[in-house]
Amino acid sequence: MTTGTERPDTAPAPDRSTANRSESDQAAPDCPAPHRSTAVHPVRVYHEARFRGDVETAAAQTGPGFTFRSPFVRSDSPTGHLDGLEGLLGIVTSVDLISEFYAEDRATLVYDVHTASPVGIQHTAEHFRLHDGRITAIDLIFDATPWHALMAAAGPAATRRTTDPATATATA
């Protein structure tokens, strides 16, 4: 018997929450061990650490010449691009990893960030470039439109910013 919202002809969607994966599943579970990219470990460690609020571990995955770009932040600092992370994590209720793609020198994660805010669910893609097993560039891609009202309400400190690599602090 169905309730009208269930579809008996389809299987339930798989759990894609990164928080619900075992350690062995987190190393690109769909890819046989001999074919796993060296990008898997640093990218997954970075992703998991960032959403735990562990800036030190996330930054430790970056390499020389690191750059970060998103609709709101441009940074050359391994830690500066994570300024304000605590505020974001304060409204994040969960993160569902949808897909991950790996090559030797690049990776892409696609995930949904569920928030306790008017934004709701933020569909996100994150493209990583790597050199010698270290993350050298991240492009975080999402529709920033739903965030504009929240950013305006937060004031000038929350507007688009650039990080000075010498001081690792954000400036408006």
pLDDT tens per residue, range 82-135? 998 898 899 999 999 999 999 989 999 999 999 999 999 999 999 999 999 999
Please give the biggest Cα pair distance in the chain: 63
Nearest to 58, CA basis, from 69, 47, 70? 47
Confidence band for 150, pLDDT divided at 50, 70 and 90: confident
Q: Tokens 């995930």 identify what position?
A: 111
d(CA 131, CA 96) in angstroms, rounded, equals: 27
Question: Can you give the pLDDT at residue 156?
Answer: 66
Contact 108, 123 (CB under 8 A): no
Interval 132-160 mean pLDDT: 82
* DSSP string computed for the chain: ---SS--TTSPPPPP-BGGGS-TTTTS-TTS-GGG--TTHHHHHHHHHHHHHT-HHHHHTTEEEEEEEE-SSEEES-TTGGGTTHHHHHTTEEEEEEEEEEEETTEEEEEEEEEESSTT-EEEEEEEEEEETTEEEEEEEEE--GGGHHHHHHH-GGGSSEEEETTTTEEE-
Question: Can you give the pLDDT at residue 158?
Answer: 53
d(CA 97, CA 107) in angstroms, rounded, equals: 14
**Is residue 167 predicted with pLDDT exceeding 90?**
no
